[in-house]
Amino acid sequence: MATVHPPEKSLMREDEDEKEKARKRNNEIISSLGKEEGWMEEYTYEYQGFWYPSVTVVEGVMWVQQNFKPRHEDILLVTLPKSGTTWFKPLMFAVMNRTHFDLSTHPLLTTSPHDLVPFLELYLRHKIPFPNPDTFYPPQLFQTHIPFTSLSQYVMESQCRIVYICRNPKDVFVSTFYFLEKLRDKKLTSLSLEKAFELFCKGVSLYEEGLLFSSQKIAEFMGYPFSVEEEKQGVAHDILELCSFENLRNLKVNKTGKIITSNNNQVENHRFFRKGEVGDWKRHLTAEMEDGLNKLIEQKLAGSGLAFRDSSEA
């Protein structure tokens, strides 16, 4: 069995004088940031061309940029909020650790994916203790909402693998709206769907066909390809069953547990499992909203060869 260990202490190294200097520099930068009406709190802040829901989150991003030093063998999952993070965390964790855990007693059955896969802005910035190290085997799998262009030079200079997840912006908007309306500061008036849509289109937002094939490609990229024997035994299929949206949503830990967000709020785990389907936006967006987002998507993806599916139909 591989030797288990928590993340290296070098991730946290920085003497007190340097910490104080960094805090002062960060505070000066934060005081000059542009801001707009917020989704969860009164304001949302623009940092390095991207919008973050609070000063606390911006501080967390800065701290990660200045301190997170991945090892070459580590893997980083980079996602926009509400783009499939809660599904890809368990999938990648299960792929990496498939030789260490039996499916019948797998940690995912009793532990939230957000506890098994460290969320950089949360764990490192606030020094919240990592989960039981018995669930961590080298290399480490981390997750962040920090955009690629804002990742630190330490990440860029390392050889760590980066898995980036992108979801149809129309589905992202709907999922984000219904997730964040539950977290919005009770002192603020409610945020209408129309106002949220306006903010989303301005960029002011928080940062199942082919699944078997996709999981195999991801496993290969991560450096954990399925062997011929594993494919014969249906290991990839078993992992997909374990990590399916329905299975995860119905587990007790994901129905009753809570996690602490980077704003120090407690969020019930079931909030992360809404519908998980392609095309749900059709039930919520007006024709005018759809047209506006379609034009924005076309503009942003022009010349890339990329496109989004608008439904789960083939």
Write the CATH number for 236. Answer: 3.40.50.300
Q: Beta strands 141-144 and 75-79: pairing type? A: parallel
The answer as to whether 145 is a domain residue is yes
Max CA separation in the chain (angstroms): 58
Token pair belonging to 102? 């039996």
Q: Tell me the pTM.
A: 0.67
Going residue by residue through the chain, which has 314 residues, state the pLDDT in tens, using 9 for 90 and above: 344 444 455 555 556 677 778 888 888 999 899 888 776 777 889 999 888 888 888 888 888 888 888 888 899 999 877 777 878 898 899 999 898 898 889 999 988 888 888 778 876 555 655 445 455 556 888 999 898 889 988 999 988 999 988 777 777 777 777 666 666 667 777 777 777 777 777 666 655 444 566 778 889 999 999 999 998 898 988 888 888 777 877 778 777 766 666 555 666 665 555 555 555 666 767 788 888 888 887 887 777 777 766 654 44
Q: How many CA atoms lie within 13 A of 137 on its CB side?
A: 13
Which of 177, 281, 161 shows the shortest CA–CA distance to 222? 161
Segments in the chain forming alpha helices (H): 16-31, 55-67, 85-96, 113-116, 120-126, 153-157, 169-180, 193-201, 211-222, 228-233, 235-242, 245-250, 252-256, 287-301
Residue 311: what pLDDT? Answer: 52
The answer as to whether 170 is a domain residue is yes
The answer as to whether 215 is a domain residue is yes
The answer as to whether 1 is a domain residue is no
Rg for the chain (alpha carbons), in Å? 20
The yes-or-no answer on residue 145 being catalytic is yes
- Residue range(s) defining the domain that contains residue 76: 30-202+210-298
Distance CA(253)–CA(210), nearest Å, equals: 28
The answer as to whether 233 is a domain residue is yes
Residue 81: what pLDDT? Answer: 76
The answer as to whether 80 is a domain residue is yes
Tally of structural domains, the chain: 1
The answer as to whether 6 is a domain residue is no
Task: Determine which one of 100, 114, 126, 145 is catalytic.
Answer: 145
The answer as to whether 309 is a domain residue is no
